[in-house]
Amino acid sequence: MIKVYGIKNCDTMKKSFDWLNANNIAFEFHDYKKLGVDQKTLQHLLQQCTLQTLINTKGITYKKLSEEEKVLCLKANTALPLLQEKTSMIKRPILQLEGEILLGFDPNSWAEKLK
């Protein structure tokens, strides 16, 4: 089964849920705003994408960071604790498939990989 990581009240997540439901794709949702995200999961994600693609630099949470905190986002060992604390900075949605992840909502690539 596909595991979807994100935040329930996010507009992009709502589009993602609508797309998955419209295409009859079963999924398990992990709301990291409510459930958090552990370091092991973040490290696993970083095996499949870069830190720069994992961090949502366009979001309000990232933009509100101090310059010192933004520097922490440049290296995994300092960025991961910050991502655990400020889960809104994690790009969403993240779809965990068997053996790979899809990062961000892209109906065309999702259709290619999931149908």
Active site residue 10: yes
| Active-site hit among 10, 42, 55, 89 | 10
Structural domain count, the chain: 1
Helices 39-46 and 76-85 pack at an angle, to 10 degrees, of 130
* 26-83: pLDDT as tens digits: 999 999 999 999 999 999 999 999 999 999 999 999 999 999 999 999 999 999 999 9
Is the predicted pLDDT of residue 115 greater than 90, yes or no? no
What φ, ψ does residue 101 adopt, rounded to 5°? -125, 155
* pTM beyond 0.85: yes
What φ, ψ does residue 114 adopt, rounded to 5°? -105, -15
- Structural domain containing residue 51: 2-114
CATH number of the domain bearing residue 52 = 3.40.30.10
Rounded CA separation 75/79 (Å) = 6
Rounded CA separation 89/26 (Å) = 26
CB atoms within 10 A of CB 83: 23
